[in-house]
Structure 1
Amino acid sequence: MFDLKMLGTAAGGGIPQWNCSCNLCDLCRKHPQIVQPRLQLQATVSTDGQKWSLLNASPDLRFQIEANPELQPSAVHGRRNTPIQSIVLTSADLDQVLGLLLLREFQPLTVYATALVRKTLEANSFFRMLHRVPNQLTWIEIAPEESFALGSPEIVCTPIPLPGSLPFYARELDNGEEGQASLGLLLEADGVRVAYTPSVPEITDDLRSLYASCNVILVDGTFWSDAELSRTHSGTPLARAIGHVPLSGDDGTIALLADLDFPRKVFVHMNNTNPVLDPRSREYKTAIDAGWEIGYDGWQLNQRP
C-alpha cells in the first residue's frame, strides 16, 4: 500500500502566524473549530507503514513527529532509533530544511538533494552540526528527471524540474541551472502515481501532462489571488513575484487545470491569508465545487491500485 501523510499543510509561519492578527489568524485563535490551526508544510511517505521517508524537513518537524506515533522511536529497537529512513529535499528554502537541525542528535541520516542544494546547506556553518560524528549524514545526489529508489520497500521517486532560484540568503551560490534549486516530485508505488508540487511558479504544458498521468496531485495552494499578500501586509510582493501561481482568476490554478480529471486533487501549502482556510467562505466553496480538496494536517492517502 502506498501511504502518504501530510503532517503540516500551511505555508511558512503556519496558521495562526505568530505576529499576525488578520481575520483568519484571529479566527483560528478564537474559533479553531472553524479555521483549523495548521503547522508548516511537511509530508511523509511509506509503502509498509513501518519505514518512512520525509519530503523536506520543516521547522515544525519535532512537533509533527510527536503528533504521529508511526514516526516515533520504539523501545523494542533500543534507546536510539527512528522509523525515518531518509529525507528528500526539494529546495534550500528555510521552511523546507530547518527541520534537519532538529534531527542532529547523532542519528545517522540519509538526505537526497541536488548538488546545488547540498552546496548551499554545507556553506552554512549551522549545518556542520550534522557532521559531528562519522557517517552521521549521508548525502545522495539527485538530478531532474532521473528516477531513484526511495526507501525499502521502495517508492520510485522522480524529481520534477521547476523554475526557481535559491532563496534570498544564498542567492550568490545560484548557478542558474533549472531544476537544481527547486523541484517537484513524482512518487510511484503499487501502481499509484502521486505528484507532490507544493510550490509552483508556473503551470507549464509539461506539468499539465504530468498531472494528467497521476492518480493524485498535491498542488501549491499558497495564495487565492495575486495581490492577496500585499492587501494584508502593505509593501509585500505579488504571489507570482515570489513563485506561486494563485488559485483564482482566468490564469489561476483552478482555471488552468479545470479540464483535467483526477481521482483526487488537493491544495497544500496554504498561506495564513488564503480565504480557502475558512470553510464558510465563497472561495472555499469555489475550490470544492471545482473538484479540489483543501488539505489539512493529518490528510492521508492510503490507496491500492
Structure 2
Amino acid sequence: MNFKLLGTAAGGGFPQWNCACNLCDLCRKSPEIVRPRLQLQAAFSSDGEKWFLINASPDLRFQIETHPELQPSALHGKRNTPIQGIILTSADLDQVLGLLLLREFQPLTVYATRLIRRTLEANSFFRMLERVPNQLTWVEIHPGKAFTLDGKVICTPIPIPGSLPFYARKSGIHESGIEDLAAKEPGQAALGLLLEADGRRLAYTPSVPEVTDTLRSMYNSCDAILVDGTFWSDAELNRTHSGTPMARSIGHVPMSGEDGTIALLAEITSPRKTFVHINNTNPVLDTRSAEYKTVIDAGWQIGQDGWQLN
C-alpha cells in the first residue's frame, strides 16, 4: 500500500490567512526555515494507479495538481481521474469542502456513515454533486465494520468521541432529523481509519479528543500511526488569540504535559509515530524549537506535506 500526506496543517493552513503570529510571520518571511503547509489531506493506493482520498480538504485542487499520480491522463480520454473514491471521517468543513471542487460532472464514489451523509445532504451546496444521473454514489460505512477497497486494502472505521460540526447543530438543520439520528446511532459523527494490506497496519487518527484504551490497543497493533498533533499545549490557542477556547474543549488532546499525547502513548512501540493536523500556533512547526526537539527525542516525527509510506 502506498500512503501519502498531501497536506498536514489544521484548518486554515499554514500560514493562516488572517494570522500574523510569530510562526505565521516567520513562515511568510523565511519559508526555508519554517515551511508552509496545506490543509490536512491523505491519499492511498494499492497499486500506485487507483487512488482513494481520506476526506476532501479545501486545498484539494492544488494538492491534486501537485501530485501527478492523482491527475487525469490523456491516455484515458479527455475526462478521467485516478481517484476511485473518497472516505469521509466527519462532516467538518475542513474535511468536506473539497468535494465541491470535484463537481465538474465527474462520477464520484463517497464512503460515509449515514449520519455524515445526512448532514451533507441537508446542505443545499452539496446538491451541486447531483446535477446529472449517477454523478454521486454513496456507500454506507459503519463504525467497527471493515470493508475492502480495490480488493486489497481492508479499511475499518474507528469510532472517535466527537459530535456533529457546529453548523449542523444550529437551527434549521435539526428539521432533517440529523440530531435525532446522532442520538440513536452514536459513533458515526467522527471516525479514525485502520488500513490493512499485505500484513501491515496503519492507523489514521488526526482528531483525538481522548486517548482511550481502545486506541492504545489499536496503535500497538500497527506498523505506523498518524495521530492528532493540533496543539502543543492546552492553552496555546488562547494565548495566541485571546478569547479562543482551550485545546481539549474543541476535541484535541495536546502533545505536551503529563496528560498529553506524548506521555500517554510513550509505551507504544510502533516503528513510525507521526503527528499530523498541526495548527499554525504549534511551536513544533519551527524545527529549531525546544518543542520540536522534545517530539523527536520522544520517538515521534512531525508529518510533512508529501510524506509517503510504502
Report TM bin, short chain.
Answer: over 0.9
Q: 2:236 pairs with 225, 228, 240, which one?
A: 228
Q: Deviations over 1:217-274 (max 9, x none)?
A: 0000000000000000010000000000000000000000001111100000000000
Q: TM-score, normalised by structure 2?
A: 0.96
Q: 1:219 pairs with 208, 227, 231, which one?
A: 227
Query: Which secondary structure state, in structure 2, belongs to the residue aligned with residue 5 of structure 1?
Result: strand
Task: Show the counterpart of 1:6.
Answer: 5
Task: Show the counterpart of 2:290.
Answer: 282
Identity %: 77
Q: CA deviation at 1:190?
A: 1.3
Task: Show the counterpart of 1:163.
Answer: 161
Q: Deviations over 1:87-139 (max 9, x none)?
A: 00000000000000000000000000000000000000000000000000000
Gaps of 5+ in 1: none
Task: Show the counterpart of 1:92.
Answer: 91
- What code does the residue aligned with 1:161 have? P
- Whole-angstrom distance in 1 between the partners of 2:75 and 2:227: 38
Matched, 1:74 2:73: yes
Query: Which secondary structure state, in structure 1, belongs to the residue aligned with residue 96 of structure 2?
Result: helix
- What code does the residue aligned with 2:218 have? L
Q: CA deviation at 1:77?
A: 0.2
Matched, 1:154 2:162: no
Matched, 1:38 2:37: yes
Q: CA deviation at 1:178?
A: 2.8
1:199, 1:244 within 8 Å by CA — same for their partners in 2?
yes
Q: Deviations over 1:159-190 (max 9, x none)?
A: 00011001000014332343210000000011
Gaps of 5+ in 2: none
Q: Deviations over 1:11-67 (max 9, x none)?
A: 000000000000000010011111110000000000100000000000000000000
- What code does the residue aligned with 1:291 have? G
Query: Which secondary structure state, in structure 2, belongs to the residue aligned with residue 156 of structure 1?
Result: strand
Number of residue equivalences: 300
- Whole-angstrom distance in 2 between the partners of 1:277 and 1:153: 38
- Whole-angstrom distance in 2 between the partners of 1:178 and 1:234: 34
Task: Show the counterpart of 1:266.
Answer: 274
Q: TM-score, normalised by structure 1?
A: 0.97
Q: CA deviation at 1:153?
A: 4.5
Superposition CA RMSD, Å: 0.7
Query: Which secondary structure state, in structure 1, belongs to the residue aligned with residue 111 of structure 2?
Result: strand
- Whole-angstrom distance in 2 between the partners of 1:127 and 1:281: 42
- What code does the residue aligned with 1:205 have? D
1:47, 1:153 within 8 Å by CA — same for their partners in 2?
no
Q: CA deviation at 1:154?
A: 2.5
Matched, 1:52 2:60: no
Matched, 1:188 2:196: yes
1:163, 1:178 within 8 Å by CA — same for their partners in 2?
no
Task: Show the counterpart of 2:103.
Answer: 104
